Amino acid sequence: MTALFQQLPAIDKLLKTAEGEQLVAEFGHSAVVTECRRLLEQGREQIKREHQLPPEFGDIRLITAALRRQLQQRRQVRMQPVHNLTGTVLHTNLGRALWPAAAQQAAVAAMGGNVALEYDLQEGRRGHRDSYISELLCELTGAEAACVVNNNAAAVLLMLATLAKGKEVIISRGELIEIGGAFRIPDIMQQAGCKLVEVGTTNRTHLQDYRDAINEDTALLMKVHSSNYQICGFTHSVTEQELVDLGREFDLPVITDLGSGALTALSAYGLPAEPTVQDKWRQGVDLISFSGDKLLGGPQAGIIVGDRYLIERLQSHPLKRVLRCDKVILSALEATLRLYLQPERLPHQLTTLNQLTRPVDQLTQQAQALKVRLENHLAQDYILRIEPSPAQIGSGSQPLAEIPSVAVTLEAKTPAKLTALFARFKALPQPVIGRLENDKLWLDLRSLADLNALLDTLEHL
């Protein structure tokens, strides 16, 4: 075995070959040495297992070719772009909302340059990083002030920690939600140092339940939009309006975690209705929090709008400094929000809304183009059809509402072939992610960002 180990080339010898020198010129000395060590270690492991020199280690050119492949691979970003054909438009695991062009431009401009992030250009002195967005949000929602943090989970944490640390927060049992990625209201309460006071039952909560729970330790009344599930049947919940009246009676603020936080009435675009931020403010809720990358259609952010005095308290809490957004996100969010100043143009300009409202006819045409391209490669082993498909908004918005869509479906002639196909799509240079359902692979056009890019990718199938 020692003799076999000795047949592996020494690193300095490898580097002195013409191929080795070429690699160093391209990738730099340290990266090449690191990769050499890694590769030779693999060679030694293989010798231990198989008691012979692996053929690819017998030839310098094969070794340097393997090194080149590895070095190239390590230069590539592994969080790859994918084509979303799952039918879920706001797919949390695939990065939620696609930024509108205006947001992308604003972000790129901010990335490589300086921006007046905390600099008041009129006065020439220190400004506030949320101020541009705050003004816009007030105009759009009617609220008095706003605060922006990293995501909505952070927004909820900041509200609770600022307004109710060491105190009690009353919330309905039916609203103690868990959403994906370990966001659970009781856990966030605990992290914020608040005591959770659950009232009512899973399916029914009455105003009297809240009233009975109020005592001198109560700091807040809280509502949570039960985004990712619905309770049907014998149910009752207390509206924000009622809770606000109760809050006024006892001088307690009412806060709402709205989750998706639509900034425009979706029903105007033929979509299932979601409560809007404006509605909640009009109903008198003191603070409303929501995500930037769900229905709003912008970058990941958590937005809180509401009462000026309470927002000032959030802004001066040390946690705000921990949770604040950077210049790129704030630029992109501002650009996204500016689109809402022109509501008629919103379905063209806001990518998420565009995806959700594209007419079925248009999706059918796209499905035809996709089917033709796939048939070239797959018609032998699969039955291809164009079928109506139930798409979803995703990210907890309207979990039961189906949005009409169209999919190309692939039915395998044998079951094993279907999983193999799913894997084959995922192995493409830009992986194609569909949905396996009813023994078919569904490629739903509603959630797709770019048909031409998809057709180009499929050349590699």
Ligand X SMILES: *Cc1c(COP(=O)(O)O)cnc(C)c1O
Six-digit token pair at 254?
């009412």
What phi and psi values does residue 111 have, to the nearest 5 degrees?
-60, -50
Please report whether residue 394 would count as binding ligand X according to CB under 6 A.
no
Please report whether residue 373 would count as binding ligand X according to CB under 6 A.
no
Please report whether residue 259 would count as binding ligand X according to CB under 6 A.
yes
Nearer to ligand X, 175 or 307 (CB): 175
Burial class (CB in 10 A: 0-12, 13-18, 19+), 376: exposed
Nearer to ligand X, 157 or 339 (CB): 157
Nearer to ligand X, 3 or 79 (CB): 79
Nearer to ligand X, 47 or 255 (CB): 255
Please report whether residue 298 would count as binding ligand X according to CB under 6 A.
no
* Candidates 110-118, 196-204, 220-228, 305-313; binding stretch for ligand X (CB under 6 A): 220-228
Please report whether residue 274 would count as binding ligand X according to CB under 6 A.
no
219 vs 194: CA distance, rounded Å? 9
DSSP-assigned letter for residue 56: G
Out of 171, 221, 224, 370, name the contact with ligand X by CB under 6 A: 224
Please report whether residue 183 would count as binding ligand X according to CB under 6 A.
yes
Q: Could you give the dihedral angle defined by the CA atoms of residues 310, 336, 107 and 329, in that order, rounded to the nearest 10 degrees?
A: 30
Out of 82, 136, 158, 179, name the contact with ligand X by CB under 6 A: 179
* Candidates 9-17, 219-227, 305-313, 364-372; binding stretch for ligand X (CB under 6 A): 219-227
Nearer to ligand X, 130 or 257 (CB): 257
Nearer to ligand X, 90 or 408 (CB): 90
Buried-exposed string 183-200: b where 16+ CB fall within 10 A, e elsewhere: bebeebbeebebebbbbb
Among 117, 346, 425, 352, CA closest to 433:
425
Among 450, 349, 396, 392, CA closest to 89:
392
Nearer to ligand X, 260 or 336 (CB): 260
Out of 291, 352, 398, 409, name the contact with ligand X by CB under 6 A: 291
The contact pattern for ligand X, residues 26-65, with x = CB under 6 A and - = no contact, is: ----------------------------------------
Restricting to residues 336-365, name those near ligand X by CB under 6 A.
none
Restricting to residues 126-165, name those near ligand X by CB under 6 A.
151-153
Please report whether residue 393 would count as binding ligand X according to CB under 6 A.
no
Nearer to ligand X, 47 or 263 (CB): 263
Query: Which position has the token pair 């705050």?
Result: 134
For residue 189, the minimal CB distance to ligand X (Å) is: 13
341 vs 13: CA distance, rounded Å? 66
Please report whether residue 302 would count as binding ligand X according to CB under 6 A.
yes
CA 225, 231, 233: angle at the middle one, nearest 5?
A: 140
Six-digit token pair at 346?
């919103």
Please report whether residue 398 would count as binding ligand X according to CB under 6 A.
no
Among 138, 143, 117, CA closest to 128:
117
Sign of CA dihedral 340, 344, 350, 356: positive
Contact between 403 and 271 under an 8 Å Cβ cutoff? The reply is yes
| Nearest residue to ligand X, scored by beta-carbon proximity | 259
* Candidates 74-82, 253-261, 350-358, 412-420; binding stretch for ligand X (CB under 6 A): 253-261
Q: How far is CA 165 from CA 159, 219, 300, 388, 397, in A?
A: 10, 9, 26, 50, 30
Nearer to ligand X, 291 or 331 (CB): 291
Among 207, 156, 150, CA closest to 177:
156
Please report whether residue 23 would count as binding ligand X according to CB under 6 A.
no
Nearer to ligand X, 179 or 353 (CB): 179
Binding site for ligand X (CB under 6 A): 151-153, 179, 183, 224-225, 227, 257, 259-260, 291, 302, 395-396
